[in-house]
Amino acid sequence: MIATTGTEIQIEDDRTGLALETLRRALADNLLYIQGKFPEDADFNDLYMALAYTVRDRLQQRWLRTQQTYGRPDAKVVGYLSAEFCGAT
């Protein structure tokens, strides 16, 4: 998708973009190509599954970037252990 705002051009990937039109297009693509249904033939579950795949694509991209960040040599990780799990007997 190419959106223009003044002189700025923004290009978004249909698989990971967050613009409303991009999300609509991704949902329609998932309904047709993953669920194998035309919009007029889709039931509630087909629409739900197409939406779930649309959301999953965006979450998966961010999860993979997070995993790459953890693998960097300069990455810092903070851990937390609640006192209730450090029970003294």
Nearest CA to 27 among 1, 52, 54?
54
Asked if residue 18 is part of any domain, the answer here is yes
Asked if residue 5 is part of any domain, the answer here is no
Mean pLDDT, residues 5-28:
84
CA atoms within a 13 Å half-sphere pointing along the CA-CB vector of 44: 0
pTM of the model: 0.70
Q: How many residues does the chain have?
A: 89
CA 42 vs. chain centroid, Å, equals 22
Nearest CA to 35 among 14, 44, 58?
44
DSSP assignment letter at 7: T
Mean pLDDT, residues 6-19:
79
pLDDT at position 83, please? 76
How many domains does the chain contain in total? 1
Provide the domain limits for residue 55: 14-74
Give the tens place of pLDDT for each residue, 32-45. 999 999 999 999 99
pLDDT at position 12, please? 78
Mean pLDDT, residues 20-48:
96
